């Protein structure tokens, strides 16, 4: 199946979910309009999925969009500025997967990825090395040290989902192999039906089906054979006699 055929099938599946029938001719004026509308609804749904949260209210870090140990660049100066790669949506936020600095493949330091409000300029308190990402620019809690210069900044990233674009069917169709297909179809159909719901129509059953499937995908995303370890604060910097 060619990329364009996969996209056409996706449009038909969304339409079938909404109306229980197929589009007679995607090349017709009405068919082309449905294709454009489906692409727009899909791209808006992807914005929603990227910002989805887990049951604890934390941002989802979808495994199907995750990359481990991405090289963000070589450190040349103490105050060098790094930016997220164009394909990346954000850095992974996980106490067990900090941003690291490596020399010849060996880790020499690590920075915890934190909220922008947790980066401080105060010098009267001891803090761990931290990094935050406002406006896609990495801001570190301190300048790089001499032994870090010449090393590589390495971190886990979450990719942006490819958006649908009629002019680029190959990249567009790659989306269909990233996100669980049924979740994508139901999510787009759910959002495309919102205007009818607002006007007083009944919420269709596929909206509930989507919600149930989303919960299942979230659970699969967090599957693990080990429980999370509690991360305790390092108090080794405290000195003196008590």
For the stretch 81-116, pLDDT in tens is 999 999 999 999 999 999 999 999 999 999 999 988
For the stretch 110-135, pLDDT in tens is 999 998 888 877 777 667 899 999 99
The answer to whether residue 94 is domain-embedded is yes
The answer to whether residue 87 is domain-embedded is yes
| Burial of residue 157 (number of CB atoms within 10 Å: 0-12, 13-18, 19+) | buried
The answer to whether residue 107 is domain-embedded is yes
| Residue 155 sits in the same domain as residue 188 | no
pLDDT at residue 201, as a whole number: 53
| Residue 42 sits in the same domain as residue 70 | no
Nearest 5°: CA angle at 120, between 119 and 126? 110
| Residue 151 sits in the same domain as residue 83 | yes
Separation of alpha carbons 43 and 162, rounded Å: 9
Helix (H/G/I), strand (E/B), else coil: 39: helix
The answer to whether residue 188 is domain-embedded is yes
The answer to whether residue 122 is domain-embedded is yes
The answer to whether residue 201 is domain-embedded is yes
| Residue 41 sits in the same domain as residue 119 | no
Number of structural domains the chain divides into: 2
The candidate with the shortest Cα–Cα distance to 72, out of 61, 84, 88, is 84
With a cut of 70, list the residues of the chain below it in pLDDT: 125-126, 194-204, 224-242
pLDDT at residue 202, as a whole number: 47
Question: Kind and range of the H or E element at 216?
Answer: helix 205-221
Q: Residue 211 belongs to what domain range?
A: 3-50+180-217
Q: Are 141 and 114 in contact (CB under 8 A)?
A: no
| Residue 71 sits in the same domain as residue 145 | yes
| Residue 139 sits in the same domain as residue 77 | yes
The answer to whether residue 55 is domain-embedded is no
pLDDT at residue 232, as a whole number: 57
| Residue 79 sits in the same domain as residue 117 | yes
The answer to whether residue 231 is domain-embedded is no
Percent of the chain whose pLDDT exceeds 70: 86
């Amino acid at each position: 199946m060619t990329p364009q055929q996969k996209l056409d099938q996706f449009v038909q599946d969304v339409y079938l979910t909404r109306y229980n029938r197929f589009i007679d001719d995607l090349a017709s004026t009405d068919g082309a309009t449905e294709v454009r509308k489906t692409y727009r609804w899909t791209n808006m749904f992807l914005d929603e999925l990227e910002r989805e949260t887990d049951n604890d209210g934390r941002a989802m870090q979808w495994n199907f969009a995750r990359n481990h140990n991405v090289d963000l660049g070589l450190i040349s100066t103490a105050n060098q500025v790094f930016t997220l790669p164009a394909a990346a949506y954000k850095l992974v936020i996980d106490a067990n997967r900090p941003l690291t600095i490596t020399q010849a493949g060996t880790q020499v330091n690590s920075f915890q990825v934190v909220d922008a409000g947790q980066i401080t300029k105060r010098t009267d308190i001891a803090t761990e090395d931290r990094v935050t990402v406002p406006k896609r620019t990495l801001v570190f809690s301190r300048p790089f040290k001499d032994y870090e210069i010449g090393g590589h900044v390495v971190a886990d990233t979450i990719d942006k989902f490819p958006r649908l674009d009629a002019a680029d069917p190959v990249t567009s169709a790659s989306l269909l192999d990233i996100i669980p297909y049924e979740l994508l179809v139901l999510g787009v159909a759910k959002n495309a039906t919102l205007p009818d719901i607002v006007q007083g129509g009944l919420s269709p059953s596929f909206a509930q089906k989507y919600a149930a499937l989303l919960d299942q995908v979230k659970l699969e995303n967090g599957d693990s054979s080990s429980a999370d370890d509690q991360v305790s604060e390092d108090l080794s910097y405290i000195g003196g006699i008590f």
